[in-house]
Amino acid sequence: MTKLRRHSSTAVAIPVTDIGLPDEDLVLFKRDDVLKARDLELANIHGVNLTEMYKHSMFKRDDGDHIIVWVARSFIETEDEPGLTKRQDARPGRESGFTNSPISDYCRDHKRQNHAGPNGPYSGGVQAMYRWARGHRGGRWDIDRNWENLVIAGSNNGANAVYKARVIDDTVASIGTMDVRNDADWTQNRAPPLKAWTLRDKSRFCTLPPIASHPKMKPTSFLDFPQEIQLQIAEDLPHPLLARLSMTCRSLNSLAEPLLYSTIQISWVREYYPPILKSLCLIRTLLEKPELCNYVRSLEFHGDDHFDRDDPPDSDELPEPPRVPVPRLDRLATFIEATGVEEASAVSWINNVLYCDAYEYLKVPEFHQPYNELYVINKVHEKWADGTVALLLCLLPNLSKFSASRNWIEDSRTLEAMFRLSLCPTTQDRSFPSLQSLKEVSIASTIENGYPNLDPENTAEALSTFYLPKLQSLSVSIDNPVQFTWPGSSPPDPAFLTSLDIYRLRECYLAPILSVTRGLKRLRYDWHYRPDLDIHVNLDTILLDTMAEAFLEVSDTLEELRITAWVAPAMSQGMYDPPDITFRKTLAQISRMKRLKTLHVPWAFLIGWDILPTAKQISHTLPTTLQHLTLNRDLMGVRELENPDKAMVSALEWEFENGTPLNAKSLKSICLPQSFYRRGGWSKECRERLEVLESRSGLTLTFDPNLPSF
* Lowest-confidence segment of 31-35, 262-266, 395-399, 667-671 by average pLDDT: 31-35
In a domain, 346, yes or no: no
- pLDDT tens column, 169-178: 666 678 888 8
| Residues 143 and 78 occupy one common structural domain | yes
Q: What single string gives the DSSP state of each residue in 626-694? A: --EEEEE-TTTTSS--S-HHHHHHHHHHHHTTTSS-SS-TT--EEEEPSPSS-TT-S-HHHHHHHHHHH
Q: Which DSSP category does 78 fall into?
A: B
Q: Identify the band that residue 166 occupies on the pLDDT scale cut at 50, 70 and 90.
A: confident
Write down how long the chain is. 710
- pLDDT tens column, 299-334: 999 987 665 555 666 656 667 787 777 778 889 999
- pLDDT tens column, 125-146: 788 888 888 888 878 888 887 8
Q: Cβ contacts of residue 26 below 8 Å, gap of 6+?
A: 57, 58, 59, 60, 83, 86, 135
| Residues 215 and 234 occupy one common structural domain | no
In a domain, 339, yes or no: no
Q: Identify the band that residue 702 occupies on the pLDDT scale cut at 50, 70 and 90.
A: very high
What is d(CA 61, CA 18) in angstroms, rounded to the nearest whole number?
Answer: 10
In a domain, 658, yes or no: no
Q: Is 681 left (phi over 0), alpha (psi -120 to 50) or beta?
A: left
Q: Which of 29-33, 388-392, 646-650 has the highest mean pLDDT?
A: 388-392
- pLDDT tens column, 49-64: 888 889 999 888 877 7
What's the confidence (pLDDT) of residue 377? 81
In the chain the first and final C-alpha atoms are separated, in Å, by 87
- pLDDT tens column, 635-663: 987 777 777 888 889 888 888 875 556 57
Q: Identify the band that residue 344 occupies on the pLDDT scale cut at 50, 70 and 90.
A: very high
- Partnered with residue 543 across adjacent β-strands are 584
What is d(CA 657, CA 172) in angstroms, rounded to the nearest whole number?
Answer: 90
Q: Identify the band that residue 468 occupies on the pLDDT scale cut at 50, 70 and 90.
A: very high
493-529 residues labelled b (16+ CB within 10 A) or e (exposed): ebeebbbbbbbbbbbebbbebbebbeebbbbbbbbbb
- Mean of the per-residue pLDDT values of the chain: 79
- pLDDT tens column, 84-112: 433 333 333 333 333 344 445 555 544 44
What is d(CA 572, CA 455) in angstroms, rounded to the nearest whole number?
Answer: 12
In a domain, 119, yes or no: yes
Where are the extended beta strands (E) located within 363-431? 401-404
| Residues 163 and 241 occupy one common structural domain | no
Residue with the bigger pLDDT between 157 and 492: it is 492
What's the confidence (pLDDT) of residue 100? 40
In a domain, 160, yes or no: yes
Helix (H) or strand (E) holding 118: none
| Residues 22 and 148 occupy one common structural domain | yes
Mean pLDDT over 460-471 rounds to: 93
DSSP three-state, residue 375: helix
| Residues 7 and 105 occupy one common structural domain | yes
| Residues 82 and 188 occupy one common structural domain | yes
Q: Which domain holds residue 256?
A: 226-260
Strands 440-443 and 401-404: parallel
What is d(CA 373, CA 366) in angstroms, rounded to the nearest whole number?
Answer: 9
| Residues 117 and 216 occupy one common structural domain | yes
Determine if the pTM surpasses 0.85. Answer: no
**Which of the listed residues 203, 236, 260 is the one where a domain comes to its end?**
260
Angle, CA of 467, 262 and 284, to the nearest 5°: 90
Q: Identify the band that residue 197 occupies on the pLDDT scale cut at 50, 70 and 90.
A: very low
Helix (H) or strand (E) holding 407: none
| Residues 194 and 121 occupy one common structural domain | yes
What's the confidence (pLDDT) of residue 559? 98
| Residues 36 and 87 occupy one common structural domain | yes
Percent of the chain at pLDDT exceeding 90: 35
Q: Cβ contacts of residue 408 below 8 Å, gap of 6+?
A: 268, 301, 303, 385, 386, 389
Mean pLDDT over 507-532 rounds to: 96
In a domain, 558, yes or no: no
What is d(CA 76, CA 141) in angstroms, rounded to the nearest whole number?
Answer: 6
Mean pLDDT over 275-297 rounds to: 93
| Residues 40 and 96 occupy one common structural domain | yes
What's the confidence (pLDDT) of residue 314? 62
Q: Does pLDDT of 366 surpass 70?
A: no
Mean pLDDT over 548-552 rounds to: 98
State the total domains in the chain: 2
Q: Does pLDDT of 190 surpass 70?
A: no
Q: Does pLDDT of 709 surpass 70?
A: no
Q: Identify the band that residue 509 occupies on the pLDDT scale cut at 50, 70 and 90.
A: very high
**Which of the listed residues 204, 220, 236 is the one where a domain comes to its end?**
220
In a domain, 508, yes or no: no
Report yes or no: 626 and 663 within 8 Å, Cβ to Cβ. no
Q: Identify the band that residue 704 occupies on the pLDDT scale cut at 50, 70 and 90.
A: confident
* Lowest-confidence segment of 157-161, 179-183, 455-459, 519-523 by average pLDDT: 455-459
Mean pLDDT over 263-285 rounds to: 89
| Residues 52 and 114 occupy one common structural domain | yes
What is d(CA 260, CA 264) in angstroms, rounded to the nearest whole number?
Answer: 9
> Which CA distances in Å does 74 have to 71, 136, 176?
8, 15, 12
Residue 581: which of 526, 549, 545, 543 has the closest Cα?
543
Q: Which of 315-324, 348-357, 506-515 has the highest mean pLDDT?
A: 506-515
DSSP three-state, residue 235: helix
- pLDDT tens column, 593-618: 999 999 999 999 988 876 555 545 68
**Which of the listed residues 166, 200, 220 is the one where a domain comes to its end?**
220
Q: Identify the band that residue 464 occupies on the pLDDT scale cut at 50, 70 and 90.
A: very high
| Residues 145 and 196 occupy one common structural domain | yes
Q: Does pLDDT of 23 surpass 60?
A: no
In a domain, 651, yes or no: no
- Partnered with residue 9 across adjacent β-strands are 162
What's the confidence (pLDDT) of residue 198? 35
* Lowest-confidence segment of 43-47, 118-122, 260-264 by average pLDDT: 118-122
